[in-house]
């Protein structure tokens, strides 16, 4: 079985880890949260690219057989460099699901909620340019949402108020579909439904991303097949105990079936 590194600016990538534990429970995982530096979405491209590279190199040094860049922002700014540098292992990224959204939207009006850095990135805009021009995309940066989710306040009044402001242009345009273009945002599903109701179609790509990981692992030399669940190690640059507590709250998969470990690593060298 493989050791898989999963990295995000904070707790957002737990939405991807959760799906990975559901589809691939026997592998071992290291989840790395750079919560000391979250949010990434309002930082410069250069900073995001160099920090993401540093953290992926750290995961590679721990012996990871594959790395999931479980952050749309880091994928947009850094994935090409990371793949070039760490060319011996699969590096799987995550991008806003604008393509499935365009296909699923009945009225071809789609809201895209993502970080400012993702929406401004060349990678995202290149992807957008490949889609049919009959679909209207309303792009909205979710400024301020990530810190609230990091603080465990995804369903608070404050979050609902801020979310209502960010969703207003999307709602006014009449979108029937919203892309959750940041891995933190699946944790806002409940709040979004509270504001917009159950009929709005919410798209996140965690299932597709994990299926991609599965394909990559299948094409590699397999390790010894385990009959039990694998381990999960949670590493934080800020507070490992808090990361573990957040994981237990946010992850739907049964973590008690896995061997759990946590560590605080202030410098990832
Ligand atoms: N979870 C991240 C993403 O998918 C980054 C959010 C942030 O740190 O701003 O974009």
> What's the 226 CA to ligand 1 centre distance in angstroms?
33
Q: Which of 68, 70, 182 to mutate to test the pocket of ligand 1 (most atoms within 8 A of CB)?
A: 182
From first to last of its 269 residues, the chain has per-residue pLDDT tens of: 899 999 999 999 999 999 999 999 999 999 999 999 999 998 999 999 999 999 999 999 999 999 999 999 999 999 999 999 999 999 999 999 999 999 999 999 999 999 999 999 999 999 999 998 899 999 999 999 999 999 999 999 999 999 999 999 999 999 999 999 999 999 999 999 999 999 999 999 999 999 999 999 998 766 667 778 999 999 999 999 999 999 999 999 999 999 999 888 875 64
pLDDT at 132: 85
> What is the position in ligand 1's atom list of the atom closest to the CA of 40?
8
pLDDT at 223: 63
List all residues 6 or more positions away from 158 whose beta carbon is below 8 Å from its beta carbon. Answer: 148
φ/ψ of 28, rounded to 5, equals -100, 145
pLDDT at 224: 64
List all residues 6 or more positions away from 151 whose beta carbon is below 8 Å from its beta carbon. Answer: none
Q: Whole-prediction pTM value?
A: 0.95
Q: Which of 33, 115, 166 to mutate to test the pocket of ligand 1 (most atoms within 8 A of CB)?
A: 115
> What is the position in ligand 1's atom list of the atom closest to the CA of 183?
4
Q: Which of 6, 7, 9 to mutate to test the pocket of ligand 1 (most atoms within 8 A of CB)?
A: 9
Residue linked to tokens 């806003």: 96
> What's the 168 CA to ligand 1 centre distance in angstroms?
21
φ/ψ of 177, rounded to 5, equals -140, 140
pLDDT at 264: 83
How many CA atoms within 13 Å lie on the side-chain side of 64? Answer: 27
Using H for helix, E for strand and C for coil, what is the string for 219-235? CCCCCCCCCCCCEEEEE
Ordered domains of the chain (ranges, CATH): 3-94+206-268 (3.40.50.1860), 98-203 (3.40.50.1860)
> What's the 12 CA to ligand 1 centre distance in angstroms?
7
Pocket of ligand 1 (CB under 6 A): 8-10, 12, 38-41, 71-73, 115, 118, 146, 182-184
Pairing mode, strands 3-8 and 28-33: parallel
List all residues 6 or more positions away from 194 whose beta carbon is below 8 Å from its beta carbon. Answer: 160
Residue 182 annotated to the active site: yes
Residue 135 annotated to the active site: no
φ/ψ of 243, rounded to 5, equals -60, -45
Number of H helices, E strands in the chain: 11, 10
């Amino acid at each position: 079985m493989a050791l898989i590194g999963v990295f995000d600016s904070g707790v957002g990538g737990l939405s991807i880890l959760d799906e990975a534990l559901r589809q691939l429970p026997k592998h071992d995982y290291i989840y790395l949260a750079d919560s000391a530096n979250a949010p990434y979405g309002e930082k410069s491209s250069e900073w995001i690219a160099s920090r993401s590279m540093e953290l992926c190199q750290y995961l590679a040094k721990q012996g990871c057989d594959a790395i999931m860049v479980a952050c749309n922002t880091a994928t947009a700014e850094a994935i090409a460099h990371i793949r070039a540098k760490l060319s011996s292992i699969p590096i799987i990224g995550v991008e806003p699901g604008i393509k499935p959204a365009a296909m699923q939207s009945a009225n071809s009006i789609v809201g895209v909620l993502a970080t400012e850095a993702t929406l401004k990135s060349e990678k995202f805009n290149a992807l957008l340019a490949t889609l049919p021009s009959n679909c209207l995309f309303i792009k909205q940066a979710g400024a301020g949402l990530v810190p609230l989710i990091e603080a465990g306040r995804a369903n608070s009044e404050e979050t609902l108020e801020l979310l209502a402001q960010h969703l207003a242009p999307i709602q006014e345009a009449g979108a029937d579909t919203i892309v959750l273009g940041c891995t933190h945002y699946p944790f806002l599903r409940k709040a979004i439904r509270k504001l917009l109701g159950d009929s709005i179609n919410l798209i996140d790509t965690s299932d597709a991303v994990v299926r991609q990981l599965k394909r990559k692992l299948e094409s590699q030399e397999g390790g010894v097949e385990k009959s039990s669940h694998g381990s999960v190690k949670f590493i934080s640059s800020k507070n490992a105990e808090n990361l573990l507590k957040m994981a237990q709250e946010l992850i739907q998969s049964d973590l008690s079936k896995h061997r759990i470990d946590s560590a605080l690593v202030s410098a990832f060298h």
